[in-house]
Amino acid sequence: MEIDSIKNLGGVVLKNNKYEIDMCNGTIMDKLVSFSLPLMLSGILQLMFNAVDIIVVGQFTGSEALAAVGSTTALIAVFTNLFIGISLGANVLAARFYASGKNKEMSETVHTAIALAFVSGMIMAVVGLLFSRLALEIMGTPDNVIDQSTLYMRIYFLGMPFLFMYNVLASVFNAMGDSRTPLFLLIFSSLLNVVLDIISVTSMGMGVDGVAIATVMAQGISVCISFGVLLHRLKGYDHTGDEVPFKRYDRHMLAVGTKIAVPTILQQSIVSIGMLLVQSVVNGFGSGALAGYSAASRIESICIVPMIATGNAVATFTAQNIGAGQKERVKKGYAASYGLIFGFAVFIAAVIALFKGPIISSFLQGDTASTAYSVGYGYLSFIGWFFALIGLKACTDAVLRGAGDVLVFTAANLVNLAIRVFAAFQFAPVWGVAAVWYAVPMGWGANYLISFIRYLSGKWMDRRVIEEK
């Protein structure tokens, strides 16, 4: 790899290629914007990558197939989020090692995380094949869609090794200040997924099985290319002169990463289980309500991408600057993120207010008279005014994550979940399916308040994540 620039920061040399952004020097807002924009585009494409299955099925095969694919969303999230902490651990450690000039340790961290992601993905593939139908039955998936749901889920889980590895690879690129390479690779895989989805449904006459196969194929090809690019990139970080031999698997790095990952894994697992409980409430209102809820949830996920992307930018910003010993710069970055969040929130609220009808109908074959449309429209009409809360939550959580202070933001997210689950079960008999989303902004607000109190305490700055061997 050609190194375009070498920067010295307080005695620490930072090496950058043309895609890597040095978050430790320069204007803070410029750094956050230039780093977060590719993340936003990547986030949207990733969701579109996933939503393509919903759109193609909804347009060409009908509402039952749409409900079948939608019914698997929460379950897939449960299993994938069990290992989401792998990406977090890799991101925090790689960013700190990168900013402090410890290239050998960074490379060892990357290789260890990739190996762990592959093994974890293989385990999840087996679990999904064996227990998909049982899990769907426990959730109360409607009888008219459970066969299709099971088929889609089993095929999807065959791609879990690819999905896990991609998430880790993207996290590593981001840790190095490079948010553009994952974007370029995702553009390719998203276009490939669209083409394969359409071919499988229209030309080959397949249904949910076709779109699932197309998704797995696109993910696999994307991971292979991403892995090759990263290996080439790591060659630029010369560790051949180190006295200690380079290791492709390091138990110490695994142990340090685990300290960061485990609380997040527990949090994400509990959150995913909680969302399963919430979806089980929606399932009780029938396949129409489920289809509308699934469609609106996908749209919501796209709407909050700028918030999540800004949060991820703040997390990398925090990890790099702490690694470089610039803790006060972290505070300035956090303050700057507020301006981005409120700007995005106003724009998104306006778009939803003006175009929510056509947006939701595009997911439902243009049907504006069905239960699905009514549920989806109601969800978007309410939630569109509260996206600033999740942005504030995401950025505050990001500072804690980037600092390796994961326990408090984990607890905050669990409080968020508890509010949503309680409201769904307690008030659904009174308010109907709308109870599921009435509690969403209350959960986001509580999450933000808890994490913000921790931020104000300053204790996150004293977290010692990387210990010497």
Question: ∠ CA(59), CA(61), CA(62), 5° rounding?
Answer: 80
10-residue mean pLDDT profile of the chain (469 residues): values are 41 53 83 87 74 64 64 69 66 71 74 81 86 78 76 85 85 81 85 82 74 85 87 64 48 59 64 69 80 83 89 88 86 94 93 89 67 87 90 92 82 86 85 84 91 92 60
For residue 414, CA distances in Å to 24, 227, 270, 407, 434 come to 32, 34, 7, 11, 21
The pLDDT value recorded for residue 160 is 87
The two most distant CA atoms of the chain are separated, in Å, by: 71
pLDDT value, residue 222: 87
Cα angle value 312/26/11 (rounded, 5°): 95
**pLDDT number for residue 253:** 55
Contacts of 409-413 with CB under 8 Å at 24 or more apart are 409/451, 409/454, 410/263, 410/264, 410/266, 410/267, 411/450, 412/446, 412/447, 412/448, 412/450, 412/451, 412/454, 413/267, 413/271, 413/447
pTM of the model: 0.73
**Residue 334 pLDDT:** 95
C-alpha dist (Å) from residue 227 to 106, 238, 383: 16, 18, 38
pLDDT of residue 301: 82
Tokens read off for 132: 């998909």
The pLDDT, as a whole number, for residue 391 is 93
Orientation of helix 251-283 relative to helix 287-303, angle to 10°? 140
Q: What is the 3-state secondary structure (H, E, C) of 408-442?
A: HHHHHHHHHHHHHHHHHHHHHHHHHHHHHHHCHHH
What does the angle CA 388 – CA 389 – CA 395 come to, to the nearest 5 degrees? 90
pLDDT for 35 equals 85
253, 112 in Cβ contact below 8 A?
yes
Backbone φ/ψ region at 64: left (φ over 0), alpha (ψ -120 to 50), beta: alpha
Cα–Cα distance between 414 and 273 in angstroms, integer? 11
248 to 136, 161, 168, 228: CA distances (angstroms): 39, 19, 15, 16
pLDDT for the residue numbered 410 = 81
State residue 246's pLDDT score: 43
Q: Which residues contact 179 (CB under 8 A, 6 or more apart)?
A: 21, 35, 36, 37, 38, 39, 42, 173, 313
CB atoms within 10 A of CB 235: 10
How many C-alpha atoms does 424 have within 13 Å on its Cβ side?
22
Contact 421, 362 (CB under 8 A): no
H-type alpha helices, 206-304: 208-234, 251-283, 287-303
> What is the C-alpha to C-alpha distance for residues 328 and 345, in angstroms, rounded to an integer?
27
Token pair in block for residue 396? 């505050």
* φ, ψ at 17 (rounded to 5°): -95, -175
C-alpha closest to that of 110 among 252, 14, 234, 228: 234
